[in-house]
Chains A and B, each alone.
Chain A
Amino acid sequence: MSCKVVTITSGKGGVGKTTTTANLGVALAQLGKKVVMIDADIGLRNLDIVMGLESRIVYDLVDLVEGRAKLRQAMIRHKQFPDLFLIPSAQSRDKMAVSPADMVQITDQLRLEMDFVLIDSPAGIERGFRNAVAPADEILIVTNPEVSAVRDADRIIGLLEASKKSQPRLILNRVKADMVKKGEMLSPEDVVDLLSIKLIGIVPEDENVVPSSNAGEPVTMMANSRAGAAYKEIARRLTGEDVPLTSIEEKQGFMKRMSRLFGGK
């Protein structure tokens, strides 16, 4: 299977890009795929913490770009998933240390051996974002059902359209079904209506996420987390599988409306 480079971005900060990257990495590894995750947030690295790998960092992305480390030296292998790797970011430099061309060069090398490269983009629309999207075959936009997040997502989609990147897909994160029903939260329909892009998954609000991040074990590794189940579905859709929506909400009406948003049934 040829390699797919997927960039996870959002515009707005704090919507769940890093959590999504970590969990999709685990979910894809659980499906038997060879995955490298790259933390492209130079200066404010987080992916290593969420994956529980910070104590094992010897070389980082900037070391790799500047030739102080070879590719395999900068790749940290996960203890539980031998085909899941992380290239951490640098803590003490800034986004100008890496260029879009550097990112393309690194992913070109990784394409030879990996099934997926997941790139965790920083927030914003400047150099860090452009570094992260430069090598992408597929771009996932993470947003929350909340006005500012959706506004920023729209801006990002506009920038991607202008630079002719392929159509991004949307992950709607931290949805609280009961608040949507009561009209207190933007519904997935409202969000897709405005952003006009295809949905690849809806991740419900899950109180297990914060303790998991703190423990360095993404929720997808737990047996019964709702967010984990959603991430597993998104991972399957990323591999090209046609996964129909499973119920995150029992009510018939809600489910029917959701399936329309996935562009089908």
Chain B
Amino acid sequence: MQEQAIIIKGFRDGLLVTLDPNEVWQELVDHLANRIDENSTFYTSGGGRVTLDVGARPVTRHELGSINAMLDRRGLMLVSVMTESSTTLDAAAALDVRANLTNQAVTPASAAKEIEISSEEDGSSGVMIRKTLRGGRTVRSQGHVVIWGDVNPGAEIIAAGDIIVWGRLRGNVHAGANGDESAIVCALDMMPTQLRIGGYITVAPADNRRKPRPETAFIRNRQIVVEAWK
């Protein structure tokens, strides 16, 4: 394997490891393990936080899990993944590791329309997650997001499209994050810490102990309105 297949640099309070997009994954992992072991005090002394840049390669959850385990056995922690592939993004989300899309970032503050909404007959794409999002998790999507489970306080969903929570919404959500003000947020129990649609923001009213009921939030007359499902 060429020396340039793995590049390791100091980065923030840890390391940036750039992996060649074409080499065989397991060989890269083994090679990286050897490099770390040859000089372990050097690599673990800086704080041990590793950012992985995998470029355009689509990395599966299993592959990311194997490099994560290898690093962990050496006292290093995978804290973030830089990638151009949404497969890798999903793999990182599944392992609860932060990931950044380096070719197209989702910028919640941006006002420009970056996606076209497909025709109503065809529908438009999104991601589906079948578990409760616990505090500390962030889900990002250029499409819609559907959660079958709760969204706990401290969890965050940022979607260019709609957000549907088949459960209790208690965390932060931002629908229409690229500026789409026709986006909606639905939940079976709407108690978000913070709710944003496009450039608008609101919080749940303070009354706890009221019965949960399905509601939809949307923009009408330049403000966020919440209506019960009838």
Q: What is the interface of chain A, defined by CB distance below 8 A to chain B? A: 96, 99-101, 126-127, 130, 151-152, 154-155, 157-159, 161-163, 194, 196
- Among B81-89, B103-111, B133-141, B179-187, which stretch is in contact with chain A? B133-141
Known pairs A151-B153, A194-B152; A158 contacts B137 (CB<8 A)? yes
Closest to A126 in B: B77
* Residues of chain B with a CB closer than 8 A to A157's CB: 134
A99 neighbours in B (Cβ, 8 Å): 73-75
Residue of A nearest to B131 (CB): A161
Q: Given A100-B72, A127-B48, A161-B134, check contact A155 B154 (CB 8 Å).
A: yes
Q: Is B30 an interface residue (CB 8 A)?
A: no
18 A-B pairs (CB sep. < 8 Å):
A96-B44, A96-B75, A99-B74, A126-B77, A127-B48, A127-B75, A151-B135, A154-B134, A154-B152, A154-B153, A154-B154, A155-B135, A155-B154, A158-B96, A159-B136, A161-B134, A162-B94, A162-B96
Complexed CA–CA distance, A50 and B134 (Å): 33
State whether A159 and B44 are in contact (beta carbons under 8 Å apart), knowing that A101-B73, A127-B75 are contacts in the complex. no
Please indicate the chain B residues that have their CB under 8 angstroms from the CB of A158 in the complex: 96, 134-137
* Chain B neighbourhood of A155, CB < 8 A: 134-136, 154
State whether B132 touches A130 (Cβ < 8 A): no
Nearest CB of chain B from residue A95's CB, rounded to whole Å: 10
Query: Closest A-chain residue to B74, C-beta based?
Result: A99
Q: Which residues of B contact A (CB under 8 A)?
A: 44-45, 48, 72-75, 77, 94-96, 132, 134-137, 150, 152-154, 170
Q: A194 to B133: give the CA distance in the assembly, Å.
A: 11
Residues of chain A within 8 A of B132, CB atoms compared: 196
By secondary structure, the A interface counts as helix
Complex Cα distance, B18 from A95, in Å, reads 27
Complex contacts, B44 vs chain A, CB 8 Å? 96
Distance from B155 Cβ to chain A, minimum over Cβ atoms (Å): 8
Q: Which residue of A96, A159, A194, A196 has the most chain B CB atoms within 10 A of its CB atom?
A: A194
Chain B: which residue is nearest A100 at the CB level? B72
Q: Which residue of B lies closest to A158 (CB)?
A: B134
Contact B137 A100 (CB under 8 A): no
Q: Who on chain A is nearest to B136 by CB? A: A155
Question: Nearest chain-B residue to A162 (Cβ)?
Answer: B96
CB-CB under 8 A from B95, the residues of chain A are 162-163
Docked pose: A163 CA to B150 CA in angstroms? 20
Q: Which residue of A lies closest to B133 (CB)?
A: A158
Residue of A101, A130, A152, A194 touching B77 (CB-CB under 8 A): A130
Contact status A100-B77, CB under 8 Å: no
Bound-state CA distance A2–B69 (Å) is 27
Chain A residues, Cβ within 8 Å of B152:
154, 194
Nearest A residue to B153 by beta-carbon distance? A151
Q: A96-B48, A158-B96, A162-B96 are in contact. Are A127 and B77 (CB under 8 A)?
A: yes
Considering the complex, give the chain B residue whose CB is closest to the CB of A147: B153
Q: What are the residues of chain A within 8 A of B136 when measuring CB–CB?
A: 154-155, 158-159
Chain B residues near A159: list those with CB within 8 A: 96, 136
Cα A154 to Cα B154 with chains together (Å): 9
- Complex-state Cα separation, A130 to B136, whole angstroms: 17
Complex interface: chain B residues within 8 A of A130 (CB): 72, 77
Chain A residue nearest in CB terms to B137: A158
Q: How far is the CB of B4 from chain A (nearest CB, A)?
A: 30
User: Which residues from chain B contact A96 at a C-beta distance below 8 Å?
Assistant: 44-45, 48, 75
User: Which residue of A is nearest B45, CB measured?
Assistant: A96
Most buried by A among B134, B137, B152: B134
In the complex the two chains form, is B96's CB within 8 Å of A154's CB? no
9 additional A-B pairs beyond A96-B45, A130-B77, A155-B134, beta carbons within 8 Å, are: A96-B44, A99-B75, A101-B75, A127-B75, A151-B154, A154-B135, A154-B152, A158-B136, A158-B137
